[in-house]
Amino acid sequence: MVKKLVFLAVILMGFAAPRPASAGCTTDLLDCYGRAGRIDSFWYRTAAGLDCELDYTECVRRRVLGR
């Protein structure tokens, strides 16, 4: 009985926790870094990496600043 109640409490707490992003900004950033990393030229690769970071901040901006 005690075990069942503790299990139930743990499940209920799980529902209250924030859900992780399934395919959100962070996943997009990692994919973008992967594509940038395959560019041969150092300068173009660096610029592409910076672009990835700007894309990421725009994505996060919508989510955590948008009202």
Partner 1 sequence: MTRRGGVARAVAIVLWGLLVFECRQVRENELAARRLFGPAIGHEVIAGRADDEAGRTWLLAGERTLISIDLARAGVSRHPLQVGDASCWGLARLRDGTLWTLKGRSTVIGIADSGEVVREIPLGAPHFGVFASDDRLIVQPADFQPPAPLLFAARVDDARRVAWGDLRSRSFPLARASVAALNMLTCGVGRHGEHPCWFPDEAAVSLMNSDGRVRKVALEGLEVVPPEVLLTADNPARPVRDAYVDDTGTIWVLSSGRPLAGAEDQPGGWILARYSDGGVRLGVQRLKESARLILRAGSGRAVLLTGGGMVAEVVP
**Residues lying near partner 1 in the complex (CB under 8 A):** 1-2, 5-6, 9, 16, 18-22, 24-26, 29, 52-54, 56-58, 60-67
- The CB-of-40 to partner 1 minimum distance in angstroms stands at 23
Rg (CA), the chain: 20
- Which of 23, 40 has the CB closer to partner 1? 23
Question: Tokens 């919508």 label which residue?
Answer: 62
Distance CA 13, CA 16 (A): 5
Q: Which residue has the tokens 């409490």?
A: 9
Q: Please, what is the minimum distance in Å from the beta carbon of residue 59 to partner 1?
A: 9
